């Protein structure tokens, strides 16, 4: 039987680098569902969720989107979407 009481003490915190903040939010139709996709400044996908969520609304409040994600910089990031879907997508540049 253990002679200890209570919970174990937390371990010492180790300093690690944090993930880069998302730079772009793309609101795009995906087969009939509107989704929001978060990208780093390198156009690397970091999250994807339903665009109708409160979080998506909060992130885009006061921002003016660019219409269309059909530039060459989006080719790899949005390769699963059709040209028609990409042309009507909204691209928000998030404040970092």
pLDDT at 96 over 80: no
Query: pLDDT tens digit string along 8-59?
Result: 778 888 888 788 899 999 999 988 899 999 999 999 999 999 999 999 999 9
**pLDDT tens sequence across 64-85:** 999 999 999 999 999 989 999 9
pTM attached to this predicted model: 0.79
Backbone angles phi, psi at 19, to 5 degrees: -70, 145
What SS3 state is found at 55? helix
72: three-class secondary structure by DSSP: helix
Residue 60: name the closest of 40, 36, 28 by CA: 36
Q: Domain ranges in the chain?
A: 24-93
């Amino acid at each position: 039987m253990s002679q200890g009481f209570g919970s174990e003490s937390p371990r010492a915190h180790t300093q690690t680098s944090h993930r880069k903040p998302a730079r772009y939010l793309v609101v795009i139709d995906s087969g009939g569902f509107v989704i929001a996709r978060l990208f780093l400044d390198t156009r690397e996908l970091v999250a994807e969720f339903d665009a109708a969520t409160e979080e998506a609304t909060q992130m885009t409040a006061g921002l003016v989107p660019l219409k269309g994600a059909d530039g060459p910089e989006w080719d790899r990031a949005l390769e699963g979407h059709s040209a028609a879907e990409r042309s009507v997508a909204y691209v928000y540049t998030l404040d970092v």
